[in-house]
Amino acid sequence: AVDVLTFGESMGSFRHAGLLRMGGSAQLCLAGAESNVAIGLSRLGHTTRWAGRLGQDEIGAFALRQLRAEGVLTDAVSHDEHRPTGLMLLEQRTADLARVQYYRAGSAGAALTIDLVRPAIAAGARILHLTGITPALSASAAEAVLWAARAARDAGILVSFDVNFRAKLWTAEQAAETLPAIAACADVVIASEDELALAVPEAHDGEVAAAAALADKGVGQVIIKRGADGATGWIDGQPRHVAAHKVVVRDTVGAGDAFTAGYLSGLLDGLDVQARLERGAILGAFAVGYPGDWEALPTRAELRLWEQQAGTTVR
């Protein structure tokens, strides 16, 4: 069994340094919240498997190549002869403001089904990581996520769930109908403060109540990400805070996925809560300090780079 299994949609992302309407060049990158987390964990030496569906096209071949190059197992990837791999366009408007446009309706990634993820769950994992993006893609993808969450819980696999609300894919009302059942199967729920109510609709009056309501449902770890203000972990009703590192921000996309990879890595290594949150903050800092969703994520040896003073050249 691998350390971490995750599935969802991975896409080609054409990144433009400015305004697409001005034309010019864009850079092809791999995007997808779940594959970002898998890559982050793989760089830290954990074994990871990404399951998902790709088109039989050049973007799909690119995605597969990137995942393999990062050491993510792709033996559970399925291929769709008829649907294309999804695409997105990203405009970096300022260092901490990006705009995306999706071309993923009817994509291969949206055609996920229970049958396609079943073998990967059967193969086992220490952690199953899911996001609230996949259920927004299609009814069959939503079914697959809920089925996997329940199957993993029943098999004793730790379930991690990042709420990751995407307003361009569905409404908050639709998300609030679908996500609580998934969150209720999770051991770890990760969200930003404004997303919490989507995972626990009965807790509208803030973070403390939401964390308590999730704890009542058996979610032992509730992690709230706060961007430059760091993150809080609610463990058995007690808050633990970690500050964000002070870095020159170059691109904030992917910070959340990086943080999640760091947190889950700490969990796999048996670290205590504070150390798990700190590893999350280190990965988040690497992600925001360099352009790209995951390209700058550290190897295990590089985690220690963070102990250096700012301005250091390691020779």
With both helix axes pointing from N to C terminus, report the angle between 58-69 and 33-43 in degrees, rounded to the nearest 10: 30
Closest separation in Å from C-beta 255 to ligand ATP? 4
User: Across the strands, what pairs with 6?
Assistant: 50, 129
Q: How far apart are CA 49 and CA 16, in angstroms?
A: 29
Residue 207 Cα distances to 195, 199, 211, 287, 314, angstroms: 10, 12, 6, 26, 41
Closest separation in Å from C-beta 162 to ligand ATP? 7
Select the span of 112-120, 146-154, 283-291, 300-308 touching ligand ATP (CB under 6 A). 283-291
Binding residues for ligand ATP, total number by CB under 6 A: 22
| Active-site residue (options: 80, 187, 257, 293) | 257
Among residues 68, 16, 19, 78, which one has the least CA distance to residue 39?
68
Question: In this chain, which of 26, 87, 215, 247 binds ligand ATP, going by CB under 6 A?
Answer: 247
Closest separation in Å from C-beta 262 to ligand ATP? 9
* 115 in catalytic set: no
| Sign of the torsion formed by the C-alpha atoms of 211, 286, 66 and 30 | positive
Q: Which CB sits closer to ligand ATP, 86 or 254?
A: 254
Phi-psi region of 281 (alpha: psi -120 to 50; beta: other; left: phi over 0): alpha
Closest separation in Å from C-beta 149 to ligand ATP? 20
112 with 138: CB under 8 angstroms?
yes
Select the span of 42-50, 55-63, 100-108, 219-227 touching ligand ATP (CB under 6 A). 219-227
64 with 20: CB under 8 angstroms?
no
Select the span of 68-76, 119-127, 150-158, 280-288 touching ligand ATP (CB under 6 A). 280-288
Residues 172-211 that bind ligand ATP (CB under 6 A): 192
Closest separation in Å from C-beta 33 to ligand ATP? 8
Look at strands 87-94 and 48-51 and give their pairing: unpaired
Select the span of 120-128, 135-143, 247-255, 266-274 touching ligand ATP (CB under 6 A). 247-255
> Does 251 participate in binding ligand ATP (rule CB under 6 A)?
no
2 with 127: CB under 8 angstroms?
no
**Which residues are at the interface with ligand ATP (CB under 6 A)?**
192, 225-228, 230-231, 244-245, 247, 249, 252-257, 259, 281, 284-285, 288
